Amino acid sequence: MYGTFKNCAASIQLFKTAALAGVSAAALLMLAPTAHATSLVTNGSFEANAGSSCSLGTSGCATDWGSSGYNFLFINANSAQTTPIDTVALWGPLSGSANGFGPSPDGGAFIGLDGDFASGPVTQTISGLTAGDTYAVSFYWAAAQQSGFNGPTVQAMNVCLGSTGETYFNTGSQPLSGGNNNPSNINCSGSGASTANFDLASHAFSGWEYETVDLTANSSSEVLSFLAYGNLQVPPFALLDGVSMVQATPEPSTLPLLLTGLMGGLGALRSKKWLRR
């Protein structure tokens, strides 16, 4: 009898070992796709730049990024409030509004996109894509306002992966972008999405938000573009930082991975003749 209980206890211990091996295997499999992901975007933090705030359309302003709109590189949060670029500075504690304006979680330089005057996209050509595959584009964005102007704004950030940079269908009235993943007024020559619209009080700052959208490539080389929306008359500026783009991987289901690990553990134990009649 003692021998039977002893064997049972040993069997239970071995089963626990197998279960632990299964959980560990599942965890490793879930972590593996993200652990080796490398962003396809270069200079996504805008730290490779001319060394000072500048108009983004200027050659060398922000390495690997282009612009066809009224968009600017701000070298840091302080200069964005105190050192106008082409007369543009932003409301913040240093420019007369205690609105909490500050650097993005990514730190350092960032882009300010005018969603009202001469709106145009910020762009980078991305190579090495696989047509038909989905890519996760992540970024920080915030809603701000040009200092010296008054009035509430409604703002959003639009993103597109296509053959050209995105534009507005209706540049005269610029109706709302349509909200989350509904770019109703955006002319995107591929796969696009929009953030939710943000209602900003006069002189206010939204705080930084982190967004991830899934976009599908149509060819091996496409243009990644960002286009700000803002209502007219009261210069709204959508801010952008920390851009990355990686191939999206399906979220693995924990239960199948756990069962797979358990089966593997039990198989190993069976090979050691644990399950014997």
Work out the burial of residue 228: count CB atoms within 10 Å of its CB; fewer than 13 is exposed, 13-18 middle, 19 or more buried: buried
126-165: per-residue pLDDT in tens?
999 999 999 999 999 999 999 999 999 989 999 999 999 9
For the ranges 1-15, 36-50, 136-150, which has the lowest average pLDDT? 1-15
Q: Which of 235, 261, 19 is nearest to 146 (CA)?
A: 235
Cβ 168 vs Cβ 160: under 8 Å: no
Over 90: is that where the pLDDT of 36 sits?
A: no
Q: Which one is the CATH code of 54-247: 2.60.40, 3.40.50, 2.60.120, 1.25.40?
A: 2.60.120
Helices and strands (DSSP H and E) totals, the chain: 3, 14
Q: What is the mean pLDDT of residues 112-120?
A: 90
Q: Place 9 in a pLDDT band, splitting at 50, 70 and 90.
A: low
Give dist(CA 158, CA 179) in Å, integer: 9
Q: Region 35-49: what's the mean pLDDT? A: 89
pLDDT at 27: 46
Under the banding of pLDDT at 50, 70 and 90, the label for residue 200 is very high
pLDDT (0 to 100) of residue 37: 80
Compute the C-alpha angle 53/211/122, nearest 5°: 40
Instruction: Please report, for the chain, the start and end positions of each structural domain, with discontinuous segments joined by +.
Output: 54-247
**Higher pLDDT pick, 214 / 27:** 214
Q: Are 136 and 81 in contact (CB under 8 A)?
A: no
Who wins on pLDDT, 58 or 266? 58
Alpha carbon distance 88, 62 (integer Å): 18
Predicted TM-score (pTM) of the model is 0.77
pLDDT value at 18 more than 50 = no
